[in-house]
């Protein structure tokens, strides 16, 4: 579930606390003027184990949606599947009642970029493309992922958009190395989207996740290498670029104050995983 961009904080070391090798490396990068994380963004082994467990259930939820989704189904039926499966397996759907969001998942069809609210009167039709975004809480830990689904047979243009959006997520993840920057993956995403004739939404982004639904860093997907927050081992975050067939501009539907729509009503697609940064690179926790 994407967030609107906000400002991150910097790394702090308590007075008198011994410096680790990670501290020294991060402080040296901070002293060059870069944005760096705080200690609380570095997950402990226990926290990582908890997030990993939440990721297993979150993946199972989306697997169920993949099995059941079909033409003629309402998005409210999808939401009920998500709620029932999550709660029966010991989890909590994080979106439900989050800042007033009324449902257990987001269902975003065609020109809806994200945060679409499931509805009994919203029926899936042949050719639709839909993003189903689920975040699951297990024992207080959060995991967040979304997938695109094509309903029946669609147009070549929509097929390409869905495929390129997935490639953008994967290419962005591949650009994330230990001690790289958010902007490194953003530049990779931007390049691939533009090469294929698409645009990247700039007003929303991925986010840190795990101990809370939304944490730092802001994982922006449009930008330049060497910008944004430093990414270090132990951080957990989503990569979830929103790729538009038309312009990148979006607006929030005034009727519900949640649904984000492309400004020109062109189609949009998005894929998302929760990732752990390790010493070797990213590990998917929602695969």
Amino acid 6: pLDDT: 45
Q: In this prediction, what percent of the chain has a pLDDT beyond 90?
A: 89
243 has a pLDDT exceeding 70: yes
Q: Is 163 a domain residue?
A: yes
Query: For the whole model, what pTM was predicted?
Result: 0.93
21 has a pLDDT exceeding 90: no
Confidence of residue 269 (pLDDT cuts 50, 70, 90): very high
- pLDDT one-digit tens code per residue, 60-97: 999 999 999 999 999 999 999 999 999 999 999 999 99
Q: Is 9 a domain residue?
A: no
The mean per-residue pLDDT over the stretch 192-220 comes to: 98
15 has a pLDDT exceeding 80: no
12 has a pLDDT exceeding 80: no
Q: Is 10 a domain residue?
A: no
Q: Is 12 a domain residue?
A: no
Q: Is 6 a domain residue?
A: no
- pLDDT one-digit tens code per residue, 174-188: 999 999 999 999 999
Q: Is 13 a domain residue?
A: no
Confidence of residue 8 (pLDDT cuts 50, 70, 90): very low
CATH code (residue 232): 3.90.230.10
- pLDDT one-digit tens code per residue, 115-149: 999 999 999 999 999 999 999 999 999 999 999 99
Q: Is 204 a domain residue?
A: yes
Please, what is the average pLDDT of the chain?
94
Number of domains within the chain: 1
Query: Where in the sequence is the domain holding 182, given as residue range(s)?
Result: 35-284
> What residues contact 233, with CB distance under 8 A and at least 6 apart?
22, 42, 178, 277, 278, 279
Amino acid 23: pLDDT: 85
Amino acid 230: pLDDT: 96
5 has a pLDDT exceeding 80: no
Amino acid 14: pLDDT: 59
- pLDDT one-digit tens code per residue, 208-223: 999 999 999 999 999 9
Amino acid 2: pLDDT: 58
CB 214 within 8 Å of CB 207: yes
Residue with tokens 């059941």: 68
d(CA 176, CA 231): 8
Amino acid 10: pLDDT: 59
- pLDDT one-digit tens code per residue, 30-66: 999 999 998 899 999 999 999 999 999 999 999 999 9
Q: Is 173 a domain residue?
A: yes
């Amino acid at each position: 579930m994407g967030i609107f961009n906000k400002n991150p904080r910097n790394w702090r070391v308590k007075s008198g606390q011994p410096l680790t090798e990670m501290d020294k490396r991060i402080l040296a990068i901070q002293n060059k003027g870069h944005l760096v994380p705080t200690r609380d963004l570095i997950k402990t082994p226990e926290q990582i184990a908890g997030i990993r467990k939440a990721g297993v259930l979150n993946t199972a939820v989306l697997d169920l949606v993949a099995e059941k989704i079909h033409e003629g189904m309402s998005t409210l039926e999808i939401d009920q599947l998500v709620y029932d499966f999550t709660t029966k397996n010991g989890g909590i759907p994080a979106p439900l009642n989050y800042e007033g969001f009324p449902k257990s998942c987001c269902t975003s069809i065609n020109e809806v970029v994200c945060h679409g609210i499931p509805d009994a009167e919203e029926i899936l039709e042949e050719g639709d493309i839909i993003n189903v975004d689920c975040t699951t809480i297990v024992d207080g830990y959060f995991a967040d992922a979304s997938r695109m689904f094509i309903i029946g047979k669609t147009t070549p243009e929509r097929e390409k958009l869905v495929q390129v959006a997935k490639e953008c997520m994967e290419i962005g993840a591949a650009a994330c190395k230990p001690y790289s920057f958010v902007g490194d993956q953003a530049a990779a995403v931007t390049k691939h989207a533009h090469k294929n004739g698409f645009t990247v939404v700039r007003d929303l982004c991925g986010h840190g996740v795990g101990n809370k639904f939304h944490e730092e860093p802001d994982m922006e997907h449009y930008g330049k290498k060497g910008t944004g927050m430093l990414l270090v081992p132990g951080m957990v975050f989503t990569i979830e670029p929103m790729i538009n067939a038309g312009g990148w501009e979006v607006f929030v539907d005034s009727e519900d104050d949640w649904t984000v729509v492309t400004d020109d009503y062109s189609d949009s697609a998005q894929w998302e995983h929760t990732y752990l940064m390790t010493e070797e690179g990213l590990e998917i926790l929602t695969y």
